Amino acid sequence: MDARVAQWIGKRESQQDVYAVKHYPQGTLAVVCDGMGGHDEGGKAARVAADTFVKVFSSASDAPVRERLQLALDAANEAVGKLFPGSQYGGTTLLAAFVGGGVVWWASVGDSPLYMWRRKRLLRLNADHSMRAIYEEFVRNGTMSAKDAMLKGHMLRSAITGEPLEMVDISITPWPLLPGDRLILASDGVDSLFIPAEMTADTRAMLETRTGNLAADIVEACRALEEEHADNVTVVTLDWM
């Protein structure tokens, strides 16, 4: 399993994305958290969520993978809640993928995407818990463009805040991997690059090329868009050989 990581602060004042990658004898765990909240609150929430998730997932090594993901997710949510008592507010999205034995399992809350590049097609594996999923109906009936849906739909319908989780996506069964599959865990700063109807030939060539560092290439492609309000970008790629 070849794992690569890259980050960019974008046009923000601080980096509130956090990632973790941990290798086990049975496979590899990758986590991406995109913090939200004023000042440093988002970054703190993301760090606590990622660290707690990895710790609990690692300690439950005898349990089935899906149960480990659920235990780790619940613990991360509880840990973030303890950071912000009373009227304080902060939170984070959380995306985790475990690759081992020729399959991938995932758990996610929020809008951070888990993509698979397979045979020249980009597939999103996890659910999108933002308003973009609602706007997709407008895209289908022609009253909103795909780009507007991506750009305007950032409001989250579920996040890690310590409150009961409104929406959770934990894979019921694992997704089988084929040789050459590429997994991309990212924060939503990559959204503009991967708008399905507007993906360029250069972006597709980047995803197909097997030389170099795909995570770093994706971050550089996001920088090249020169968006005025570019968000934090974090990318973890996992190549299944």
pLDDT of residue 216: 98
Lowest mean pLDDT, pick from 22-26, 53-57, 87-91, 217-221: 87-91
For residue 153, name the pLDDT band (cuts at 50, 70, 90).
low
How open is the CA angle 225-229-235, to the nearest 5 degrees? Answer: 60
The pTM of the full predicted model, rounded to 2 decimals, is: 0.92
What is the distance, to the nearest Å, from the Cα of residue 32 to the centroid of all Cα atoms in its chain?
A: 5
Instruction: Summarize pLDDT for 81-114 with one digit per residue, the tens.
Output: 999 887 678 899 999 999 999 999 999 999 999 9
pLDDT of residue 54: 98
The arithmetic mean of pLDDT across residues 4-18, rounded, is 96
CA distance 60 to 63: 6
pLDDT over 90 at 170, yes or no: yes
In 3-state terms, what secondary structure has residue 222?
helix
pLDDT over 70 at 39, yes or no: no
Instruction: Summarize pLDDT for 196-222 with one digit per residue, the tens.
Output: 878 999 999 999 999 889 999 999 999
Would you say 238 and 97 are in contact if contact means Cβ atoms under 8 Å apart? Answer: yes
Q: What's the chain's length in residues?
A: 241
How many Cβ atoms are within 10 Å of 180's Cβ, its own excluded?
13
CA distance 225 to 10: 11
The arithmetic mean of pLDDT across residues 48-53, rounded, is 98
Instruction: Summarize pLDDT for 113-147 with one digit per residue, the tens.
Output: 999 999 999 999 999 998 877 776 777 777 777 67
How open is the CA angle 47-112-53, to the nearest 5 degrees? Answer: 35
In 3-state terms, what secondary structure has residue 12?
coil
The total of structural domains in the chain comes to 1
For residue 38, name the pLDDT band (cuts at 50, 70, 90).
low
In sign, the C-alpha dihedral spanning 206, 212, 218, 219 is: negative
For residue 166, name the pLDDT band (cuts at 50, 70, 90).
confident
Would you say 135 and 153 are in contact if contact means Cβ atoms under 8 Å apart? Answer: yes
The arithmetic mean of pLDDT across residues 56-80, rounded, is 97
Domain membership of residue 92 as a residue range: 2-239
Q: Distances from the Cα of 56 to the Cαs of 61, 73, 75, 168, in angstroms?
A: 9, 9, 7, 18
**What CATH number has the domain bearing residue 28?**
3.60.40.10
Residue whose C-alpha is closest to residue 30's, from 187, 176, 180, 218: 187
pLDDT of residue 155: 77
Residue 138 token pair? 């407008």
pLDDT over 60 at 235, yes or no: yes
- Calculate what percentage of the chain has a pLDDT beyond 90: 78
CA distance 81 to 65: 24
How many Cβ atoms are within 10 Å of 177's Cβ, its own excluded?
20
**Amino acid letter, residue 2:** D
